[in-house]
Amino acid sequence: MKYRAGLLVLLMFLCAVRFQADPRLIGSYRQDKNGWVFVHLQGSPNEIGFQDGYLLAPEIDDALRAMKYYLSIGTRKDWSWYRQKAREMFWPKLTKEYRDEIEGIAQGLRARGKRYDAIDITALNGWMELAQYYLPALRRGTIPGTGDNKAPGHCSAFIATGNYTADGKIVMAHNAWVDYVAGERWNIIEDIVPERGYRIMMDAFPGFIDSGDDFAENSAGLLITETTIAQFRGFDPKGTPEFMRAREAEQYAKNIDDFARIMTTDNNGAYANDWLVGDTKTNEIARVEVGLKHHRVWKTKNGYFVGSNFPSDPALIRDETGFQANNPNSSMNARKRRWEELMEKYKGKIDVENAEQFLADRYDVVRKRDFAGARSLCGEVENDPDGIPQWGWTPYFPGGAVQGKVTTTGLANKMEFWARMGHPDGDNFIASKFFEAHPRYKWMGKDLHNMISFPWTLFAAKK
């Protein structure tokens, strides 16, 4: 028995040496810090992908296992369906650069003993597009067209500049709203140095080639974030997937116009967003609203844009959503009012510290008191008997703000940003207590764990 145990240890050591010696790993590294996993990736598309898959193999494997089960229950479609649609619709639209990167991720996973292929990784990247946009429209028989879709809201965010900020330059902040099964895993920060295009710093879901919840900055001085358009409906299966267009914009856009062009070219309508974009070279900011039929851009060098899953263009609202702009009690409109209150209250003072406080804000403008729930910027819908019916989150649904990020012109010019994993207000989500109080959600217990709030932490690109 001792001989066998010793042999096993030797084999594990030799395997580790072999994988570490793979030349594709040169220059890459991983650091775990305050609930986040930070990775530095560099090189060709295949090298970047291999490093991603190898360094994050435990997290990607866990994410794939969790999403396979969660989607099979939530959408009544198993993983083979997601693979089929990814192979048919997404893979043919990917450029060679991103195919190579995705294949590299799968190769890195296999080097760590995880049996996945490029189609698994493509389906993982596109799970929100398939589950929340394509499938609802498909079930209504409206492809291409406008199915009866309850596309969920994701995130609260703002970007401000000029006379609204303390130094007259850009401040941008974002907290990711998502189901906690996915959200507890949205803890990757990537510093990517590609062969072509600009360097990227972004947060990400394991295995994604883009940010996904969308908080990124690049070495051209572009700042990018967004909030989704709630109740959006529409999907074009012939278009380019949003996750590839978003990554292209993160990597290749040098200004706001570049960003808008990339995001609206061959648009498939999925993951429709109000993008908040800033250019540190000019300190100009913009709202870039991208639907399927309509898109519009607003710009300013003196002001702000806020996001809480509401659209702004009347034509887009009318033609592409079920959004009720006049419902003051909806999560989307309530958070919009709170954002506007905070922007005016702190006009001329907005900085990193204030931005962190905004993301932690618990005030409910409908209840007129502090209540971390569906209408607070720091969403904690697990506390809220109202849920968010507009996008199908039932009372006490385990979803909301799972982390927060803040950057500024000064930070972005050094390729840095602040991030906090867990509820930005410091609350902890304790799974056992939640399931005891709300047993209807126990089916999630296989993959839904405690979500602890860690301190704000500064992350910086490798020098």
Furthest-apart CA atoms within the chain: distance in Å = 74
Distance, CA of 345 to CA of 149 (rounded, Å): 36
280, 277, 278, 279: which is closest to 289 by C-alpha?
Answer: 277
| Exposed / middle / buried, residue 314 (Cβ in 10 Å: 0-12, 13-18, 19+) | exposed
* Residue 110 Cα distances to 50, 55, 385, angstroms: 10, 12, 44
Contacts of 250 (CB under 8 A, 6+ apart): 200, 202, 210, 211, 216, 218, 224
Percentages helix, strand, coil for the chain (3-state, rounded to 5) are 40, 25, 35
Distance, CA of 183 to CA of 452 (rounded, Å): 12
38, 61, 41, 60: which is closest to 51 by C-alpha?
Answer: 41
SS3 273: strand
CB atoms within 10 A of CB 301: 14
pLDDT at 148: 54
**Which stretches in the chain have pLDDT values below 50?**
1-5, 7-19, 142-147
pLDDT at 14: 40
DSSP label at residue 74 = H
Distance, CA of 271 to CA of 137 (rounded, Å): 13
17, two tokens = 């040496």
Note whether 185 and 59 are within 8 A (CB): yes
Q: What would the pLDDT profile of 108-137 be if each residue is shown by its tens digit?
A: 999 999 999 999 999 999 999 999 999 988
DSSP string across 286-298: EEEEE-SS-EEEE
* Domains of the chain in sequence order: 28-38+148-460 (3.60.60.20)
Distance, CA of 96 to CA of 70 (rounded, Å): 31
275, 254, 238, 68: which is closest to 144 by C-alpha?
Answer: 238
Distance, CA of 185 to CA of 67 (rounded, Å): 11
Distance, CA of 281 to CA of 286 (rounded, Å): 14
DSSP string across 320-340: HB---TT-TTSHHHHHHHHHH
Note whether 115 and 121 are within 8 A (CB): no
